[in-house]
Homo-oligomer: A and B are copies of this chain.
Amino acid sequence: MVFGSLADTTRRDILRRVAGRELSVGEIAASYDISLAAVSKHLIVLERARLVTKRREGKLQVVEFAPAPLNDAAKHIQRYRDIWESSLDKLEAYLKSQP
């Protein structure tokens, strides 16, 4: 799930890096103090949320950013704001209708 994936600081940071350019799992892991296995698990989470894809390139696993789920997340957020806005509109209409 997208919001769940974005809930972790390390994962958000990884996502920012791979949005800039494709990186191998090892290259990504080099930026963090945690084990390679831990980074690999973070990448699996991001992969399940379809925020990244992986492909083998020789002995490397190359991680590529996939923006689509972010659009869904943004729509989700926009929806809350739309509901909020429309409730404000209703309130305004009501106040205007008052004597």
Contact = CB atoms under 8 A, between A and B. Distances in A.
Contact of A77 (B1, B21, B73, B81): B73
A20 B88 CA distance: 9
Interface of A: 1, 3-4, 6-7, 12, 15-16, 19-21, 65, 67, 70, 73-74, 76-81, 83-84, 86-87
A51 to B, nearest CB: 9
Contacts of A76: 6, 12
Query: What number of copies of this chain does the assembly contain?
Result: 2
A67 B81 contact: yes
B4 A80 contact: no
Given A4-B7, A81-B67, A19 B74 contact: no
Contacts of A77: 70, 73-74, 77
